[in-house]
Structure 1
């Protein structure tokens, strides 16, 4: 079995250039698709978890300040949620959370933040995924980015801190 690198080394320069061009086009299409999915998902956040000012589409970073979720914008301005009670928990450090948990009508939404992630490295707010919880009793999670079911077993293992500092469970 040959690897892709071995295959490239045995091709002619013209074939290599052609493959590089094709891979570049595919990469561009994938990036465009990711941007469209993220724009749609952030539009969903704007409807379900609106900010006092601005849009989730314009956010550069999220920070937890005391018990409030703050969204920072490129111009240095900030905004909290229109309904601050919708922010319920986080994982990671308050100044650089690895995820933010929001809640609306009894259902959780987790913003997975990862600057090195597949999607997070392309998003200005480093959002790698937006995961939605279905209604109880199923407690199934879906990724808005991939459109697939998320392994709910790992959700029970993940540690969250409520905005008051205590442990928070997603169940």
Structure 2
């Protein structure tokens, strides 16, 4: 049986009340009784306007219903019907063309071309997978798909296939050569990478120091200038991350210790609360809100069992 807490003339489901007062409250903001009183007062002040708008909509519908009844034996005349809708105020004259000038929109939505995912927020596993899809491993994509032949020495097996892995690295570096070319060299020739005078410098096997053909593609780095852990490059607004780790099993066997290439993939996600799920009652809504909160504070996680093994999926 549902329990409610009375605030003025409104009744708040205790489950929702506890979620907001306990889960949402933190050192920065506190949702106490003053919050509920303010909410209740605002709802009361808007009630008259809400009823007026609903009554206006009912009046429109009554007039439209009456028109159809009175004209049911007549051949439908589009212009007559349109004039009628203008007359009752259901339609209004079009204004002059104008441009929407919304400001401060994130590039991921306004200017960068890329996939957008839609997932049910009530499903924590789907929500985590979608959030993590912002970056995908190029190595994993090449290794696990038929971009590379799955026959002979390159066939996928239960254990790591070193021949297939070598082909993955070869294709990945060809990808770098094509979209992030070096001036006169290939990534296959690189032995070390450093940042010198805020510019990316590649040291080759023949002791040359080369730059990117387009140095504007260098966006930033993580780690030390002489031994960066990650290099961030950009092409057409989309970024890739060269992850360097000489201790990693794959990295230590690479000519410049490249362990993986992360590619920017799903730029944005619609965390859906309405279409792919029907979050209506209090329990579903609070469960949905808790997943959203977990995404925001990066605590959302779920245990997954696969092939008789369990692991934690998280951000």
Normalized against structure 2, the TM-score is what?
Answer: 0.34
Displacement over 3 Å in runs of 4+: none
2:263 matched to 1:132? yes
Query: Could you say which residue in structure 1 is the equivalent of 2:182?
Result: 51
Higher strand share: 1
Conserved in 2, the CA contact under 8 Å of 1:107 and 1:135?
Answer: no
Number of equivalent positions: 114
Where in structure 2 are the equivalents of 1:6-155 lying within 5 Å? 30-134=161-265, 136-138=267-269
User: Whose Rg is larger?
Assistant: 2
Structure 1 residues 16-71: Cα deviation after superposition (integer angstroms, max 9, x where no partner) = xxxxxxxxxx9xx7222221101100000001000011101111111111121111
Structure 1 residues 109-132: Cα deviation after superposition (integer angstroms, max 9, x where no partner) = 000000011210110110000010
Provide the C-alpha distance between the structure 1 equivalents of 2:260 and 2:179, rounded to a whole number of angstroms.
Answer: 16
Question: Structure 2, unaligned stretches of length 5 or more?
Answer: 1-156, 270-294, 299-315
Provide the C-alpha distance between the structure 1 equivalents of 2:194 and 2:173, rounded to a whole number of angstroms.
Answer: 17
Greater relative contact order, per chain length (Cα 8 Å cut-off, separation 6+)? 2
Question: Structure 1, unaligned stretches of length 5 or more?
Answer: 1-25, 139-152, 157-171
Normalized against structure 1, the TM-score is what?
Answer: 0.62
TM-align CA RMSD: 2.1
Query: Could you say which residue in structure 2 is the equivalent of 1:10?
Result: none
Is the partner of 2:268 in helix, strand or coil? Answer: coil
